[in-house]
Amino acid sequence: MEANNERVVLITGASRGIGVGLAEGFAVPGARLALTARRRTSLQETCRRVEALGAHALPLALDVRRLEDMPAVVDQVEAELGPIQVLVNNAGVNIPRPAEQVTEEQWDEILDANLKGAFFLTQEVGRRMIPRRRGTIVNVASAAGLVAREERAAYGSSKAGMIMLTRVLALEWARHGITVNAVAPTFVETDLAAQTLDRPGMREKILGQIPLRRLATVEDVAASVLFLASPQADFLTGVVVPVDGGATLR
């Protein structure tokens, strides 16, 4: 497998939170990163950080719910940067709601972004990796896909689906030399998690459920993704790493 600074890496949801940390983690000198978000303009800061670290950044608008846009985006990445060696499915949304209050529109928004979009983008990239007989895919799932969490009926279902998708693709595509793994973080200090963490008493409650007594950081998640995408993980596939401080132990 190519050294990190020779690989082309496609990262979705790269405009904030975990996505920014992932982009910075992959941004070794000479790396070629394709970064996507719903709006290309929202990637300006991420691109600045990546290029300051010596990597090349290609910002691209991609709403992962718009399946019809995926072929053109992947074509552009491979035309401008070269064959995609690593895909990181990070884009996702969450709308915390009690189960009885979830609307069909909210359910569809979460499942379309977190699971359906991730599958069809992976399919688009995977079809190109298969004849090359190499490739690395890392999915950003969630601890909410491993254990039940309140107000996560749709989100937890989408992430549990992503975990099973990871395993099925790992099984099907191993014969093509493609590895498929996932990380499953607990609450991470991001704007997305703030929807829950900023409620009165919630931070303390959540910390009480994590044996290591702290939340995950963007850097914690990025470190695990980087390992799974590295040559050191070449013999791992179908693995789900719980980046959760022990939260899913009980």
* Percent with pLDDT over 70 in the chain: 98
* Alpha-carbon torsion, ordered 123, 35, 13, 170, to 10 deg: 30
**Encoded tokens for 131:** 């004849």
pLDDT value, residue 192: 72
Would residue 4 show up in a list of annotated catalytic residues for this protein? no
Q: What is the pLDDT confidence band of residue 48, given thresholds at 50, 70 and 90?
A: very high
């050191």: which residue's tokens?
232
**What whole-number distance in Å separates Cα of residue 141 and Cα of residue 242?**
9
For the chain, how big is the Rg over CA atoms in Å? 17
Burial class (CB in 10 A: 0-12, 13-18, 19+), 98: exposed
pLDDT tens-place string over residues 201-237: 888 999 999 999 999 999 999 999 999 999 999 999 9
CATH class held by domain 4-241? alpha beta
């107000």: which residue's tokens?
151
pLDDT value, residue 1: 40
Query: What average pLDDT does the structure give for the chain?
Result: 95
pLDDT value, residue 191: 77
What DSSP character marks residue 107?
A: H
* CA 146 distance to own-chain centroid: 16
pLDDT tens-place string over residues 142-193: 999 999 999 999 999 999 999 999 999 999 999 999 999 999 999 898 877 7
Whether residue 4 has pLDDT greater than 60: no
Task: Check 46, 114, 144, 155 and give the catalytic one.
Answer: 155
Query: What mean pLDDT do residues 87-101 have?
Result: 96
Q: What is the pTM of this model?
A: 0.94
